């Protein structure tokens, strides 16, 4: 559990510690409350619950926590206490012992306090390698409470692809940490495992939950301003005189020119600033300032990616598709790009006797699965079992609509609406209200893109839910193993003759 704090020598942070974080005031307030909650005499009652053949150490119930808040804090009712408890739980100060969603319920659910070592005021900035080590360590411990959730398993697979080159090092670190954990006392290990899990639930939250560790750029800028007043001279917006590290010297010079043009000295007083703030935006000077503000806002919104990360992603992508590149791996039959035979393409289209290489490609992405006729067929069978085959039918119909003749578009649009979206539709699909309203408005002027919003929504649903479940299903695993066996048998047959005929022996004369 040796993660890096912001400002540590080996970390990513640039600051010197907690004082650089604009949320420190909020953290200190919450921590004062938590310290009162943990008071042995007047705090929340913490106990060890005994159940059949097991003990649950150092827990308290949600109802006890809410009662303590209503008694000792200035809260008006239970709703306000629940809201405060939810905010503190979302920041990781206490957490449910058997749920990844950090929230509070006023019932008998068990919660546990987080150790001060993992409090957000310590300015943790854990890296993806730390997260990979943690997830890898969880897979080594064969315990039900340490099994990975679906989203964690997906994150682990993604990290394994990202760090494929140094995965052996990550695995060794996880192995070493697992050995240390095994030496601890059983109850102590339970508590530490849950606290470490809660730490990662804060920094790598469940999809759909708010990430409370993200820093508000407005707070960060306000924190570094020399005064709390709104000033127009741009060089005082961030300490050090620079608006951002990406602003060029020429742009800094242009802002200085504006300052001179507006007759603002570097030591302008409050009256000058107030006078400037009332410049008419339609005037030439006001328009110039507005243009610069818009340009700087665009710079703030632009996403920057490290070249090293981009190169790693490219390397992983090409390594992943290397097996399917006919120029890098000699295919069987021959490469159609350098020979006159198209047998290779015909083989890729057939839906019988599929090589295991093709089946493995389905696991790369949903797009790869749907591009393959055999993959689409297998996925459709799986959706039929899940009673959601109409989603794929609708998506296929929308793709065909985009490629249809212009004269047929209105009729096809109406057919798709009647079949999938009308109130009495035979194969009704389930989409969100926003997509439905957009599609309904588009029906007033039908074209190729009428159902684009609904199709994109359904595709995302299939990608995030049904596709991942299909890859984990026995149906896909059995199909993949069956193709592997067929491939291996074909390889044996190419070497060994299974003919029952005996070689003719020369007759004795």
**190 DSSP β-pair partners:** none
User: Who's near 65: CB < 8 A, 6+ residues apart?
Assistant: 37, 44, 85, 94, 104, 111
Q: pLDDT for 202-254, tens place per residue?
A: 999 988 888 888 776 676 666 665 544 443 333 333 333 333 444 444 444 44
Please report the DSSP string for 286-311 in residue order. Answer: HHHHHHHHHHHHHHHHS----HHHHH
Please report the DSSP string for 370-384 in residue order. Answer: HHSHHHHHHHHHHHH
* Most confident listed range (151-165, 296-310, 351-365): 151-165
Percentages helix, strand, coil for the chain, rounded to the nearest 5? 60, 5, 40
Model confidence at 304, pLDDT cuts 50, 70, 90, reads confident
Q: pLDDT for 43-74, tens place per residue?
A: 999 999 987 778 889 999 999 999 999 999 88
Confirm whether pTM is higher than 0.75: no
Q: Phi then psi for 58, rounded to 5 degrees?
A: 55, 60
The pLDDT > 70 percentage for the chain reads 77
Which H or E element spans position 182? helix 167-182
Q: Is residue 277's pLDDT more than 70?
A: no
User: Who's near 489: CB < 8 A, 6+ residues apart?
Assistant: none
Q: pLDDT for 161-216, tens place per residue?
A: 989 888 999 999 999 998 888 888 888 888 999 999 999 999 999 888 888 887 76
Q: Is residue 101's pLDDT more than 80?
A: yes
How many other C-beta atoms can be found within 10 angstroms of the C-beta atom of residue 435?
19
Q: pLDDT for 68-98, tens place per residue?
A: 999 998 888 899 999 999 999 999 999 999 8
């Amino acid at each position: 559990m040796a993660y890096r704090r912001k400002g540590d020598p080996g970390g990513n942070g640039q600051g010197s510690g907690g004082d650089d974080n604009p949320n420190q005031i909020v953290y200190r307030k919450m921590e004062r409350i938590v310290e009162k909650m943990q008071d042995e005499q007047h705090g929340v009652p913490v106990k060890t619950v005994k159940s059949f053949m097991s003990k649950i150490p150092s827990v308290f119930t949600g109802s006890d926590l809410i009662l303590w808040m209503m008694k000792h804090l200035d809260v008006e009712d239970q709703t306000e206490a629940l809201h405060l408890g939810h905010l503190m739980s979302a920041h990781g100060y206490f957490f449910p012992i058997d749920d990844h969603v950090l929230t509070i319920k006023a019932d008998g659910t068990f919660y546990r306090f987080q150790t001060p070592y993992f409090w957000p005021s310590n300015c943790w900035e854990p890296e993806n390698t730390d997260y990979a080590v943690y997830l890898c360590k969880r897979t080594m411990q064969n315990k039900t409470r340490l099994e990975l959730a679906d989203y964690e398993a997906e994150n682990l697979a993604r990290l394994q692809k990202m760090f494929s080159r140094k995965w052996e090092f990550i695995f060794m670190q996880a192995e070493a940490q697992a050995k240390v954990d095994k030496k601890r006392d059983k109850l102590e290990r339970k508590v530490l495992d849950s606290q470490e899990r809660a730490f990662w639930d804060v920094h790598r939250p469940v999809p759909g939950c708010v990430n409370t560790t993200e820093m508000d750029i407005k707070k960060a800028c306000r924190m570094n301003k020399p005064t709390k007043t709104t000033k127009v001279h741009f060089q005082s917006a961030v300490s050090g005189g620079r608006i951002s590290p990406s602003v060029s010297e020429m742009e800094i010079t242009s802002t200085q020119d504006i300052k001179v043009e507006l007759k603002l000295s570097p030591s302008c007083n409050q009256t000058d600033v107030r006078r400037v703030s009332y410049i008419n935006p339609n005037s030439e000077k006001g328009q110039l300032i507005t243009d610069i503000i818009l340009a700087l806002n665009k710079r703030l919104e632009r996403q920057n990616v490290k070249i090293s990360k981009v190169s790693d992603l490219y390397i992983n992508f090409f390594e992943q598709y290397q097996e399917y590149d006919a120029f890098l791996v000699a295919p069987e039959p021959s490469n159609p790009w350098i020979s006159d035979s198209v047998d290779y393409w015909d083989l890729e289209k057939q839906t019988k006797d599929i090589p295991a290489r093709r089946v493995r490609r389905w696991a790369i992405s949903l797009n790869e699965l749907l591009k393959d006729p055999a993959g689409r067929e297998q996925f459709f069978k799986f959706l039929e079992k899940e009673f959601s085959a109409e989603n794929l039918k609708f998506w296929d119909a929308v793709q065909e609509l985009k490629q249809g003749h212009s004269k047929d578009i209105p009729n096809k649009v109406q057919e798709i609406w009647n079949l999938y979206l009308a109130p009495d539709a035979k194969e009704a699909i389930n989409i969100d209200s926003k997509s439905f309203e957009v599609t309904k408005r588009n029906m007033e002027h039908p074209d190729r893109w009428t159902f684009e919003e609904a199709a994109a929504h359904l595709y995302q649903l299939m990608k995030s839910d049904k596709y991942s479940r299909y890859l984990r299903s026995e149906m896909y695993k059995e199909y993949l193993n069956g193709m592997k066996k067929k491939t291996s048998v074909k390889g044996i047959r190419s070497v060994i003759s299974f003919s029952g005929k005996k070689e003719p022996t020369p007759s004795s004369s």
